[in-house]
Amino acid sequence: MNLQDKIQYTNEMADAIQRGEAFYTLETNQIMHILLPNPQVAGTMVQRRSYAMDKAMNLIETITKSSAHTDTTLSSNDKV
């Protein structure tokens, strides 16, 4: 996964977090179903977006550092 992919997936995942979606499906050379955290409901839109981007970046970083298997479900609480 290159930097451009990471940025794209982070933005898409942050959008999904803000919409309150439960999962995000990441399709690269394997399919991963990622469990998303609940969106932030208090604060300004900038604070909500920052929260969603932070969570998405952490998840993407976890994915790139781990050797996840096909059809793996990751949670925002997973640590590497």
Residues 6 or more apart whose CB falls under 8 angstroms from that of 77 comprise none
Q: Is 51 among the domain residues?
A: yes
- The answer on pLDDT for 71 being more than 80 is no
Q: Could you tell me if residue 80 is inside a domain?
A: no
Which range marks the domain in which residue 35 is found?
3-74
| Domain total of the chain | 1
Q: Are the CB atoms for 26 and 68 separated by under 8 Å?
A: no
Domain presence at residue 31: yes
* pTM score over 0.85: no
> Span 5-21, mean pLDDT?
96
